[in-house]
Amino acid sequence: MQSKLQDEKDGEEFQAEPIDIEILRALQEDARSSYRDIARKLKISVGTVHSRVSRLEEAKVIRGFSVDINYSKLGYGITALILLQAKGKHLRDVESKLSKFPNVCVVYDITGDFDIGLVAKFETTLLMDRFIKEVLAMDFVERAVTSIVLNSLKESFIIKL
């Protein structure tokens, strides 16, 4: 059984084999696992794990390895959901600029009444206010609606494969 994984940016599909999915599951459980540990767990060779992970990286199925940080414990206690309207032909330029802000976690190109959806984290409401005003002052940004997250019940991009 093969699974089709699709890259959001270019639409290219990747034919994942069952062993690829098993390796991805192992990395989801603990991205710090060594290839040797994964090989032992899956009863395959270290070389197979290495070549499969390299193939998954080249295909951009694996985009990187990261640590799951609780940002509120580091002072980023404010999470904002920001919806923006932008002038159509400049949409990609606006999204590109927004993605460079260090406190922006997510930039989505969306459908509906708004064009862009952002998730951003802030240490204070003053910093959030400055950010929103800076975004509204950007060329081609026409409107913004901001909601502040009161409670986060789940905050993860990991889905069970």
Q: What is the pLDDT of residue 12?
A: 76
Q: Where are the alpha helices (DSSP H) in 33-101?
A: 35-42, 46-58, 91-98
Checking if the pLDDT of 7 tops 80, the result is no
CA geometry: angle at 143 spanning 141 and 148, to 5°?
Answer: 115
Give residues with Cβ within 8 angstroms of 111, minimum separation 6. Answer: none
* pTM, 2 dp: 0.80
User: Please, which pLDDT band fits residue 5 given cuts at 50, 70 and 90?
Assistant: low
Domains of the chain, CATH where assigned: 3-58 (1.10.10.10), 71-148 (3.30.70.920)
Res 21 pLDDT > 90: yes
Residue 18 predicted with pLDDT over 60: yes
Confidence class for position 1, pLDDT limits 50, 70, 90: very low
